[in-house]
Structure 1
Amino acid sequence: MVKETKYYDVLGVQPNATDSELKKAYRKLALKYHPDKNPEGGEQFKLISQAYEVLSDEKKRQIYDQGGEEALQGGGAGGAEFHNPFDVFDMFFGGGKRQQGRGVRPTVHQMKVSLEQLYNGFSKKLKVTRTVICTDCNGLGGPPGSVMKCPDCKGRGMIVKVMQLAPGMIQQVQSPCSACKGNGEMIPPKDRCKGCQGQKKRKVEEILEVHVEKGMKDGDKIMFEGRGDEDHNVPPGDIVIILDEKEHSNFFRKDDNLVMNIDIELVESLCGFLSSYQDFR
């Protein structure tokens, strides 16, 4: 009996959920609420990450089951420490390369597959959109020499405002520079690259050939290293394809076995019977 079920409810699983069930729930919810795909989902994405971080750790889960969030926080002193939700996402989907300073965040796509497709294997063309450094201007945003330091923020990208809260009390507030949109640089409209409108990067569509091998499982990853988003002075990110198995009408998979539940009559159980079912061969 667990003290509270908040984190289980966040992931939509039961308190007796297995590790594989937790992973599947996190995978689907993290992709659904990731701010890149759902700008309004930031808080939910953070909560999903916290729930998974606790429940996927055997020790933390035991503490949570016995005492709830209060026990995790040590009775309220200091509060529980959680990793950055984007770091948890990167570790889960992309192997954590971003934390090692090797590139930008991976681009993750979830691909629906049937049980038959996993059994037999197949190939599929998948259209993806990625951000690349503009080749028209070599990532400069305009002709050489056209980029100038923003006069409003002096190239810092941030504006510091001083606010008086009360007599003798002031507060400094930093906010992104509205003139250069936080870039610290400006390009005159007449000099902006036509390919990227001075943004230095642009969106492109590409076709990937995705090969699903026989016997792959729900949640397996297919990596396209270096085929993701690009940024300046760092290696490009990866594209990660996550296999999402659709529910089958007759069979379900248990390890490498196909399992089927059927209802039978008492007389069939006592006397035995023969029945034929179509498999995937």
Structure 2
Amino acid sequence: MKDGQKITFCGEGDQEPGLEPGYVIIVLDQKEHLRGKFRERGEDLVMCMDIQLFEALCGFQKPIATLDNRTIIITSHPGQTVKHGDIKCVLNEGMPIYHRPYEKGCLIIEFKVNFPGSGFLSSDKLYLLEKLLPARQEVEETGEMEQVDLMDFHPAQVRRHCYNGEAYEDDEHHLGGGVQCQTS
């Protein structure tokens, strides 16, 4: 049943001699799951599962405590790659379907793959790891190309590095103004 749905029992209200009994109306108030692990979407339950990079690549088994006090084991077999943001489901592990209590919706799982931090392997070990993974695409550099490095993105730092002067430093005509960065 859904949150706010009503159940009416006719003739089950206050009973007094000489008076017709009234109605008992029960309004369901759905309680949030204690651990906040599941969200309901119709008959389906939705959850997020954190896994480590090696589990995403090599498989895993994870126990999940269900709302009806059972434990199920989610299995990803070796060779089945799970990517960050992948959405998978387990049939018949969602909410019971109204008027069909032996049928259930799906348990929908969105995966979050946790990557190891920078410097987790020495360069000689990285070389071994690279040999195991699919080959990277090589880039042929030309004279028109310029190499740049990636940095961590911090919005506050980027605003400080915005150039507030003219569009080009070597321009002989200093008209003022220039391009400004938008700030929020």
**Greater Rg over alpha carbons, structure:** 2
More helix per residue: 1
Q: Could you tell me the TM-score, scaled by structure 1's length?
A: 0.27
Pick 1 or 2: higher relative contact order, CA cutoff 8 A, min separation 6: 1
Q: Could you tell me the TM-score, scaled by structure 2's length?
A: 0.39
